[in-house]
Amino acid sequence: MQSSRHRIQLFLFALLAALFSGCVSEQHGEFRGNIARGLPGTNNPSVQPCYWEVGWRNAVTADALVEFGVPQGFIVLVHSRQKYENSYYRLSNDAISAVYFYEGKLPIEGKEFLAQDVTARDRVEGMHHL
């Protein structure tokens, strides 16, 4: 009796392991709206895929960032590392301290960017504090 229950448990475990080994998880992102230089309303809202989603966190810095790549550049959210970790790795409104739009083809170097003070961050070429 004990042996047959054990076999069933083993079979179920093997079945679940096999099924989960074939599961794929992928992160998707999109931006619905306008991202443009100039006055609002000059472009029609559209859905744009986020090609990149890059996060930067370091145990020694108070700030962290996450950037989302769209065809025009990157939306960069600077946030409090501690608040993000305290919220079980969720972003929340009170954790976000600054939003930037970065005109670049590649993501910014998060470690270098976060090592600078707020004034210096605003002066980074191609970086626009929103």
Partner 1 sequence: MEKWKSNVDFRIRLAMQSSEPDPWVVNGILTSYEVSEFNPVKFIGQGLGAMGFAHE
Distance CA 80, CA 100 (A): 15
Contact yes or no for 130/101 (Cβ under 8 A): yes
| 125 touches partner 1 by CB under 8 A | no
Size of residue set near partner 1 by CB under 8 A: 40
Name which position in 7, 33, 86, 120 contacts partner 1 (CB under 8 A): 33
| 21 touches partner 1 by CB under 8 A | yes
| 90 touches partner 1 by CB under 8 A | yes
Contact yes or no for 71/85 (Cβ under 8 A): no
| 35 touches partner 1 by CB under 8 A | yes
Residue reference for tokens 């790549």: 69
Least CB distance to partner 1 at residue 9 (A): 20
Contact yes or no for 118/127 (Cβ under 8 A): no
Dihedral of alpha carbons 80, 85, 89, 91, sign: negative
Residues that bind partner 1 (CB under 8 A): 18-19, 21-40, 45, 50, 53, 68, 75, 77, 88-93, 99, 101, 103, 128-130
